[in-house]
Structure 1
Amino acid sequence: MSTHSPADDGFRAFVEQQWGPLVRVAYLLTGDRGHAEDLVQAALEKTHRKWGRVSRMEAPVAYVRKAMVNTAISWRRRRRVSEVPLLATDSPPGSSGADAYGSIEQRQQVTAALRTLPPRMRAVLVLRYFADLGESEVAELLGCSVGTVKSQASRGLDRLRAHLNPVPERTRA
């Protein structure tokens, strides 16, 4: 006798296939590996309840991403993390490790800069540039206009640049 219901058909395989990519997106949204996993878990729980309908969608992963973004934005508690643990699985694909410290330092700086952004702006940047979604896809996912995505992305990139490349203050004579 099978222990899974018809609504579970394909859900386990979906989770196994998408877990890594979803955690990476969630990590950029939250800035913390543990919170990222919690976020993915919460989104998958919401998805599982509607899996019969979600599994017939053209892109079920888009539904999960939307659930992740909405959950991340709605979490009222601001979680502060003093350090960013890096795991072996966090290294970029195909990296030879030649300059492992430089890439880790750069990744930590970008992650720290992302955490300074408001949640919705952070979501736009993560979905647009990390998840490689188009402006219209991000707009649909976040329930806003393409213009809002463009302006949030532009402002967010400006803030990241300012955070990563601060202009030294001039000393007065």
Structure 2
Amino acid sequence: MTFEEFVALRLAALVRYATVVTWDADLAEDIVQNVLVRAQARWERIRTLDAPERYVQRMLVNEFLSWRRRKAARTIHAGEALEGLLAPQADQTGRYDDRDAVMRLIGTLPPRQRAVIALRFYADLSVDEIADELGCRVSTVRTHLLRALTTLRTSLPSALLPTGEPR
């Protein structure tokens, strides 16, 4: 597969993935653009891998985590998290309002915790796979996941919390 074919087929999915990881649509587009420029230069090697898309996704996560260290990186505040991306809409069932509340809370988490939540629940990766993806220990991933879920549980309205025994 050529680089142009890869981009034509997977660009939208990569932007969605980056948006979930970064929680900022504009930053996601910037990161995807930067990563694709670097990936194009290395495409002959990347395309021979078993899963070139996974490799590019890992590049996206690494790029996001390095952006947060730069002076130009923005801190997302609760009031502006996902502004305009998932604006609350009135719905008879309230399902979308609940989803919006959860999404806004996730947007307030620190970048590494957001990345772990996105990789665990959006990309459906195991804790071991996330550790490999982020280049850290499994215990670090578990700590970030535990802290993120604890923050979300304490911040969510009780009506949105699942009932029954915790797993």
TM-score of the superposed pair, with normalisation by structure 1: 0.74
Which residues in structure 2 correspond to 1:46-57 (within 5 Å)?
46-57=38-49
Aligned identity (percent) is 40
Q: 1:132 to 1:100 in 2, by over 3 A?
A: farther
Does residue 124 in structure 1 map to residue 116 in structure 2?
A: yes
Cα contact 1:113–1:163 (8 A) shared by 2: yes
Q: 1:14 to 1:101 in 2, by over 3 A?
A: farther
Cα contact 1:33–1:85 (8 A) shared by 2: no
Match 1:152 to one of 126, 140, 144: 144
**CA distances 1:92-129 after superposition (whole Å, capped 9, x unpaired):** xxxxxxx4883433333223212221111111110111
Partner of 1:17: 9
Does residue 69 in structure 1 map to residue 65 in structure 2?
A: no
Cα contact 1:26–1:40 (8 A) shared by 2: yes
Q: 1:61 to 1:100 in 2, by over 3 A?
A: farther
Does residue 78 in structure 1 map to residue 74 in structure 2?
A: yes
Shift of 1:149: 1.6
Aligned amino acid, residue 125 of structure 1: I
Whole-angstrom distance in 2 between the partners of 1:43 and 1:101: 40
**Runs (5+) with no aligned partner, structure 1:** 1-8, 88-98, 167-173
TM-score of the superposed pair, with normalisation by structure 2: 0.76
Structure of greater Rg = 1
Shift of 1:56: 0.8
Whole-angstrom distance in 2 between the partners of 1:141 and 1:100: 40
**Runs (5+) with no aligned partner, structure 2:** 159-167
Superposed CA RMSD in Å reads: 2.7
Larger deviation, residues 108-117 vs 75-84:
75-84
Cα contact 2:22–2:115 (8 A) shared by 1: no
**How many matched pairs?**
150
Whole-angstrom distance in 2 between the partners of 1:100 and 1:29: 29
Q: 1:79 to 1:156 in 2, by over 3 A?
A: closer
**CA distances 1:22-52 after superposition (whole Å, capped 9, x unpaired):** 2222112222222221121122222111111
